[in-house]
Structure formats: structure tokens, C-alpha cells
Amino acid sequence: LQDLKEKMRELLPLLPVLEQYKADSRLIGHLKDEVRNLSGILLAIQEEMGAYDYEELQQRVLLLEARLHACLQKLGCGKLTGVSNPITIRASGSRFGSWMTDTMTPSADSRVWYMDGYYKGRRVLEFRSLTDFVSGQNFVQHLLPHPWAGTGHVVFNGSLYYNKFQSNVAVRYHFRSRSVLVQRSLAGAGYNNTFPYSWGGFSDIDFMVDENGLWAVYTTNQNAGNIVVSRLDPHSLEVLRSWDTGYPKRSAGESFMICGVLYVTNSHLAGAKIYFAYYTNTSSYEYTDIPFHNQYSHISMLDYNPRERVLYTWNNGHQVVYNVTLFHVVKTDGE
């Protein structure tokens, strides 16, 4: 009897965990129902395509996409707890540059974009696949109408977002039409090495995408050089909301967003670690100590891709990726 009592005591701490599993299971059930509902709506849209004009059909599809994205976000987001060892994909280009895949396309689209250099560049290479990128074959060239500054570019849903050289202007360049769809000034944002990362390189304005959408990281004189995080409308480039993190940008090696959280490294050199995290959902921060192996000792670009769950890095002329480990928390609508 005493042994049984002891075993029962050991099981007691599991009760809250089981309750959480029950709650999570209920939420997952609701999400399954929502996905089935969305599938039905999509089927109805396909059957009724002739009944709508293009604009109305586009709005229905966008609404559908937003609801599905909300489902995936509830199941997929989490807190960063670890970063893998680096995986070198290719060694090419100069010491500084940027490379990326689209953060919001079907998995079958494996195109890679490559931008060598950190200022006054206009040439973007588009490779058909990662295999072609590794071999340096099968690419097309885009010549941007405006040169770029820094390496904080991102490709999101078929468009390149970048900082126009010698300005605080954000540019959205559409690859298919080979044209600039919109450009807009980020009010008060520093440029031309006024507030770069610790490595310099005109890295004043850094665009990034996570599960929540498009962001810009920069700083202004008004907030004394501390990092500002702004969420942007990807179509108009309007600032939807901004947060002052309180972290000095010149002390940051690089930064990236995951699930609405800005993670900052404390150096661009060897010995760097992920040192600081700012949570936009609660407007709070914490200091972290997540090891980050900087194999080639000089990082000039670091971005998260939410579609692939990896970090893309340009490290001293090497194109490198890291897998990330997230602690998943299933969110309910009330949280």
C-alpha cells in the first residue's frame, strides 16, 4: 500500500500536464474543423468562379488565406530554444552579401535569390533551385531600378523588399513584372551608416519576415539609437505598429524575427551568441544565452525563413543555414 501511495505521489505532478494536453487536443480539434471548413469554402469558390469578378474573387481568396494562416500560426509558433551547428551551402562572392528563398510560396518553389555586396548594388541573381545555386547554374538576372544599401533584404510572396541606397526609403520590387510596385520612406529612420549593426556596411534598415508578416528593424535619433521594430503592410509599406526595444543597435551583431519575437546577437564576430529577445505581443524583453556557432567569423546577414524554419546567413563569403529549435506553445483564442 505504501509503494502504491508513493507511485501516486509521483503521478500527481502529471495532472496539470494532462489537463493541458486535453485543452490542446480540444483546440486541435477546433482547428481541424476550421481547416475542413476552409477546404469546403475553397471548393465552393472553385465551383462558383464564374459568378464573381476578379476583384471579388481575389478578396475571397485573400480572406481564406488569412484564416488558414491564423490556423497554422496557432499550431506552429514557439519560443527559440536552440540553433543547430552551421551547414555550409556554398562559398562564393565577397565578404558581405545576402541570399534567400521566398518566405511565402508553395514548397515546390525552391528558387534562390543572391545579392553580392552591401552598397550601390543593383544585380539580383535568381536561381531555379538550391541545387542550381550550389552549382552556380541556371539563373536569370534582375537589374534593380534603384541600388540597394546594406544586406537586410527579404523576398516575400514574389517581391523583394530592400532599402534604397542613400535614403531611408523602403522599396518593393516585383520579380514577375520586373518593376517597383511601391516605395515609401520610413519616417525618421537612420541611413548611410548612421545606425548600422556592429559590422557597419550601411546596415541601418533590416527587413525580415516571420509567421506574423513583414517587419523592418532600424533606429532613429528620437529613440537614442535603440532598435525599433515596425510591422509593415506588405502591399503599401505603411507602418502598422512600432516598438522601441531599448537595445542599442550599434551593439547588435545581427537580428531576426521568429513568431513576433526579435532575437539579437551580441556580435558579428566569433564567440557570438543570441543575447536578447524582445516580445512584441507583450512589449517586454529578456536577456538570453543561446549558443550560436559563427564558423567563418564575420556575419553580415542573418534572416529567418518561416516556411523552412531555418536561418539564412552570409558569413565571410560563405552561404550558411542553421536549423532552429522552437518550444511550441499552442495558443487559444483567449490568449
Mean pLDDT of 150-160: 97
User: Side by side, which strands form the sheet with 284-291?
Assistant: 255-258, 261-265, 273-279, 284-291
pLDDT in tens, 256-273: 999 999 999 999 999 899
H or E element: which one contains 126?
strand 119-127
- What ranges in the chain are assigned the alpha helix state H? 2-11, 14-47, 54-76, 130-135
Exposed / middle / buried, residue 111 (Cβ in 10 Å: 0-12, 13-18, 19+): buried
Higher per-residue pLDDT: 109 or 320: 320
How high does pLDDT run on average in the chain?
86
pLDDT at 334: 44
User: Side by side, which strands form the sheet with 112-116?
Assistant: 97-100, 112-116, 119-127, 139-149
pLDDT at 173: 98
Which cell numbers hold the place of 209?
Answer: 519576415
Exposed / middle / buried, residue 175 (Cβ in 10 Å: 0-12, 13-18, 19+): middle
Which cell numbers hold the place of 196?
Answer: 548600422
Please give the Cα distance from 143 to 146 (Å, whole number): 9
Q: How far is CA 148 from CA 113, 163, 170, 270, 333, in A?
A: 14, 6, 10, 27, 41
pLDDT at 251: 96
pLDDT in tens, 288-312: 999 999 999 999 999 999 988 899 9
Q: Rounded to the nearest 5 degrees, what angle is found at the Cα of 162, between the Cα atoms of 103 and 236? A: 80
What structural domains and CATH numbers belong to the chain?
1-76 (no CATH), 79-327 (2.120.10)
Residue 129 in contact with residue 105, Cβ under 8 Å?
no
Confidence of residue 328 (pLDDT cuts 50, 70, 90): low
- Kindly state the percentage of the chain with pLDDT values over 90: 70
Reply yes or no on whether the pLDDT at 42 is more than 90: no
Reply yes or no on whether the pLDDT at 41 is more than 90: no
Higher per-residue pLDDT: 14 or 275: 275
Mean pLDDT of 223-250: 97
